[in-house]
């Protein structure tokens, strides 16, 4: 390969500059919501809620993801408006309930993933 052509997976300085400009143009609300949706999607997979079901189920990993999502939403709710926050909070509650249902030994109320931020979740 020539020096002008980066190896697969390598980025040039120009590529990095372009990515930085792209990120600079994205509103903070969009970044926060995108991260929250990614956490929700990953948690759903780890809870076995996808078509593959139990193939990717890992409740320890799901607990971490749900807890991180709850912390993010708790910290950013006043910044992203209720228009964005309400559906994300509904999704979080659904994941918390799914976690409780998937657990062989459910956590005590208030001790489940993210309940430190949301309070106890009941079905």
pLDDT one-digit tens code per residue, 85-99: 999 999 999 999 999
DSSP 34-55: HHHHHHHHHHHHHTT-STTGGG
pTM of the model: 0.81
pLDDT of residue 11: 61
pLDDT of residue 6: 57
Q: 119 near 89, Cβ under 8 Å?
A: no
Whether residue 10 is predicted with pLDDT greater than 80 in this model: the reply is no
Q: pLDDT band for position 18 (50/70/90)?
A: confident
Pure H helices in the chain:
13-24, 28-46, 59-102, 115-118
pLDDT of residue 8: 60
pLDDT of residue 2: 46
The DSSP secondary-structure symbol of 120 reads -
101/2: higher pLDDT: 101
Q: 59 near 103, Cβ under 8 Å?
A: yes
Nearest-CA neighbor of 35 among 87, 88, 86?
A: 88
């Amino acid at each position: 390969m020539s020096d002008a052509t980066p190896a697969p997976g390598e980025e040039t300085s120009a590529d990095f500059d372009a990515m930085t400009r792209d990120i600079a143009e994205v509103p903070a609300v969009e970044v926060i919501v995108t991260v929250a949706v990614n956490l929700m999607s990953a948690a759903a997979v780890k809870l076995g809620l996808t078509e593959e079901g139990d193939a990717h189920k890992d409740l320890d990993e799901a607990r971490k993801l749900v807890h991180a999502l709850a912390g993010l939403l708790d910290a950013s709710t006043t910044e992203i408006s209720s228009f964005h926050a309400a559906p994300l909070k509904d999704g979080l509650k659904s994941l918390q309930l799914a976690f409780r249902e998937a657990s062989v030994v459910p956590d005590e109320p208030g001790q489940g993933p993210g309940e430190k931020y949301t309070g106890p979740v009941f079905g």
